[in-house]
Amino acid sequence: MYILAISLLTANQTIAQDINDSVTFELMSLSPESFYNGSDGASALTMNYGAISFLNDYYAPWDSWTGFSISNVTDNTTSGFGNQYASFAGGGSNSDNYAVFYSNGAIEFNQPMHLRSFDVTTTAYSAISMRDGDPYAKQFGSINNANGVPDGTNGEDFLVLHIIPKDVNDDLVGDTIDFFLADFRFSDPNEDYILDMWTMIDLSPYLIVANKIEFSFSSSDVGAFGINTPTYFALDNFRADLLVDLEDNEIDFAVYPNPFNDFVTLKSEINGFLEIKNQLGQTVYEQFITENENIDLSQFSSGIYFATLKSYLGVSTSKIIKN
């Protein structure tokens, strides 16, 4: 995996910036109408204050890549694979540079972060393929596949982006969030759409604290080798908060019973990241938790422990005792 990244302190190349906690990609130096897809094999770049990494996997023998590239291409009218780096909105979200995602990949954090929002749109390659069809993928709204054979969809087509937040153990945090990049399932055909503008996906109501975000797709146009629709989307203005130790902003957090035997119930005002340390300061347990959660600590030896809950609102620590 190569890492596309941002740094205000180090880097051979800076490709993003942190303005009001927003990764905008504007500080990467790109020639007009160009892109960076990891072809130089650079893996030493760090993003933001080292907290966020946009993963890129470049395969030189085929000049191919998955994950993220960075682009400022504005051509939203040319069809086909040769225009895979352009957003259908014709540029970035109130900016020049933006990220393009293809196939599979992730955004990773070197510590848990509270996810706020990011802007998305379709790419020109994907959108024009859905609008007009191509030799491999169907025209959305048609009853036929790319070979001209009825495909059973009755023209009720869709392309969905799945946003998959995960914790440090690679387990799903909360629920997968689905966002429709195209939807042709409406009873009124005038409501059918392919996303052609930048749209903010607001993650704040989900109160997600995660260590990474993975992405995948589902489509109504599926063949023997998987999805026929080009699986791309464009991303800009990624916003997240570090879970810092805000000692002056203690959150409401309780552990009971205390002392305990095997199980404890954690009660907090918000989701967060739980870390338990022993008296030697060693971390013996860590997990993302929801507002009220039961946890099995039967594996702990008798003694005193310190449970710390971190959220983007603050931090709180409680001494707990195992009988």
How much is the pLDDT for 19?
41
Give the whole-angstrom CA distance, residue 294 versus residue 264.
Answer: 6
Higher pLDDT, 183 or 42: 183
Question: Does the pLDDT at position 29 exceed 90?
Answer: no
In the Cβ-directed half-sphere of 142, how many Cα atoms lie within 13 Å? 19
Q: For 257-314, what is the HEC assignment?
A: CCCECCEEEEEECCCEEEEEEECCCCEEEEEEECCEEEEECCCCCCEEEEEEEEECCE
Band the pLDDT of 244: cuts 50, 70, 90.
low
139 and 238 both lie in a single domain = yes
In contact, 144 and 84? CB cutoff 8 Å = no
Question: What proportion of the chain, given as a percentage, has pLDDT over 90?
Answer: 58
How much is the pLDDT for 155?
97
How much is the pLDDT for 290?
67
In total, how many domains does the chain have? Answer: 2
52 and 163 both lie in a single domain = yes
Question: What proportion of the chain, given as a percentage, has pLDDT over 70?
Answer: 85
Helices (H) and strands (E) in the chain, counts: 1, 23
Average pLDDT of the segment spanning 185-214 = 92
Band the pLDDT of 291: cuts 50, 70, 90.
low
Band the pLDDT of 26: cuts 50, 70, 90.
confident
Question: Does the pLDDT at position 286 exceed 60?
Answer: yes
In contact, 81 and 134? CB cutoff 8 Å = no
95 and 208 both lie in a single domain = yes
How much is the pLDDT for 50?
54
303 and 216 both lie in a single domain = no
Of the residues 185, 217, 242, the one at which a domain ends: 242
73 and 166 both lie in a single domain = yes
Both tokens of 316, joined, read 């709180």
Determine, yes or no, domain membership for 248.
no
Helices (H), 100-165: 124-132
CB atoms within 10 A of CB 98: 28
Question: Does the pLDDT at position 160 exceed 60?
Answer: yes
309 and 162 both lie in a single domain = no
Give the whole-angstrom CA distance, residue 266 versus residue 253.
Answer: 7
How much is the pLDDT for 317?
85
What's the mean per-residue pLDDT of the chain? 85
Give the whole-angstrom CA distance, residue 136 versus residue 165.
Answer: 31
In contact, 241 and 21? CB cutoff 8 Å = yes
Give the whole-angstrom CA distance, residue 128 versus residue 86.
Answer: 11
Average pLDDT of the segment spanning 146-150 = 97
193 and 217 both lie in a single domain = yes
Band the pLDDT of 254: cuts 50, 70, 90.
confident
In contact, 26 and 16? CB cutoff 8 Å = yes
In contact, 35 and 73? CB cutoff 8 Å = yes
Question: Does the pLDDT at position 153 exceed 70?
Answer: yes
Of the residues 223, 242, 261, the one at which a domain ends: 242
Band the pLDDT of 162: cuts 50, 70, 90.
very high
Average pLDDT of the segment spanning 77-104 = 96
257 and 233 both lie in a single domain = no
112 and 27 both lie in a single domain = yes
Higher pLDDT, 53 or 194: 194
Q: What is the CATH number of the domain that holds 281?
A: 2.60.40.3080
How much is the pLDDT for 4?
42
Give the whole-angstrom CA distance, residue 305 versus residue 284.
Answer: 9
Of the residues 217, 242, 267, the one at which a domain ends: 242
Residues linked to residue 224 through DSSP beta bridges, in sequence order: none
Q: Which domain holds residue 280?
A: 253-322
Q: What is the CATH number of the domain that holds 164?
A: 2.60.120.1350
28 and 124 both lie in a single domain = yes
How much is the pLDDT for 81?
96
How much is the pLDDT for 216?
97
Higher pLDDT, 288 or 7: 288
Q: The whole model's pTM is what?
A: 0.77
